[in-house]
Chains A and B, each alone.
Chain A
Amino acid sequence: MTTSEKYVTAAYCVVFAIVLVYVLIMALKLQRLEREVDEIAGRVPDEDAEEAPRETAQVG
């Protein structure tokens, strides 16, 4: 491998390493948001559990 080839390879590796790091950061952030959604959902009372059982009615 010539010096020129090594530098070109390094340039493309740098590009993909930075894009990969960015995607990883975004993935971690989305995971955190998902955890927060779960946490908030846990704080909201479960509507189905609180509602009284409904009688079935024929429709149509």
Chain B
Amino acid sequence: MGRTSRIPLPLLAAISLVLVTTALAFVFFVAPDDANQGFSQRIFYFHVSIAITAYACFAGGAWNALLHLWKRDPNADLRSYVCVHQGLIFGTLVLLTGSIWAKISWGHWWLWSEDQLVLFLVLYLFYCAYFMLRFSVDPGPQRANLSAVYALFGVVLIPVSFAAIRLAKNLIHPVVFTLHGPNFGGWILVTYCIAQTALLALAYTLYRLELGGKRLDVRLRRLREVLA
């Protein structure tokens, strides 16, 4: 956080915009059609990148929760909250883009028989419940501690969700990363790397934007209390 938080937000937003535009140009004009899935495979450049970004946000939430509990970092609770919120937004996008791809390839928007889909939904709902827990407790140290413990528990679901795609018996859901590296190469790999970088940059920009707003909100509330 130290060095990257010094980058001004407008510059970060501009970098994200350039990266996302480049990623889109590569997805639609450079990357070749997949031999098995054809044009519909192009959803995966963003779907997989968004999924990994969502996992990264949840992991960031857990890391900041750990910092809150361990080092008693006064800002860690707010950072953890914003990370989880970002993860949930990207999680929503994973479910939506995944459903659209499922409709093209499987003919269904959703399949309850697919463990990997259901596990991601469980992860998503677990983090939705984070907000219910957080806002059911009055602001203060108790809320911060409960939220931190909950965010730490949630991180256990990430490797389960990630591994479920590989452990599924029927393997309908395509496996992008294997133990021997990515399951593709050439322009597909280049396009994926650009899309992944773009999505991570976008998530970080949105994180900084939201965190800035939340900090301002907290300071304003304190100022109101002083003035009252």
> What residues of chain B lie closer than 8 Å to A40, measured between beta carbons?
220, 223-224, 227
Check if A14 sits within 8 Å of B93, measured CB to CB: yes
Check if A4 sits within 8 Å of B217, measured CB to CB: no
A41 closest partner in B (C-beta): B223
Check if B227 sits within 8 Å of A43, measured CB to CB: yes
A36 to B223, CA, bound (A): 11
- Name the interface residues of A1-47: CB closer than 8 Å to any CB of B: 2-5, 7-8, 10-12, 14-15, 18-19, 22-23, 26, 29-30, 33, 36-37, 40, 43-44
Q: How distant is B180 from chain A, measured CB to nearest CB, in Å?
A: 28
Q: Which of A8, A12, A33, A36 contacts B40 (CB 8 A)?
A: A8
Check if A15 sits within 8 Å of B224, measured CB to CB: no
A23 to B210, CA, bound (A): 9
- Name the interface residues of B63-117: CB closer than 8 Å to any CB of A: 89, 92-93, 96-97, 100-101, 103-104
Number of A-B contacts (CB under 8 A): 70
> What residues of chain A lie closer than 8 Å to B46, measured between beta carbons?
11-12, 15
Q: Which of B40, B89, B202, B209 contacts A4 (CB 8 A)?
A: B40
Check if A5 sits within 8 Å of B39, measured CB to CB: yes
Check if A11 sits within 8 Å of B97, measured CB to CB: yes
> What residues of chain B lie closer than 8 Å to A3, measured between beta carbons?
104
Tell me whether B164 is interfacial, beta carbon within 8 Å: no
Q: Which of B43, B50, B89, B220 contacts A37 (CB 8 A)?
A: B220
Q: How distant is A13 from chain B, measured CB to nearest CB, in Å?
A: 10
Tell me whether B181 is interfacial, beta carbon within 8 Å: no
One digit per residue, 1 when the CB lies within 8 angstroms of any chain A CB and 0 when it does not, for chain B 47-74 equals: 1001000000000000000000000000
A26 to B43, CA, bound (A): 27
Q: Which of A12, A19, A22, A33 contacts B217 (CB 8 A)?
A: A33
Q: How distant is B20 from chain A, measured CB to nearest CB, in Å?
A: 9
A15 to B90, CA, bound (A): 9
Check if B202 sits within 8 Å of A19, measured CB to CB: yes
Check if A14 sits within 8 Å of B40, measured CB to CB: no
Tell me whether B159 is interfacial, beta carbon within 8 Å: no
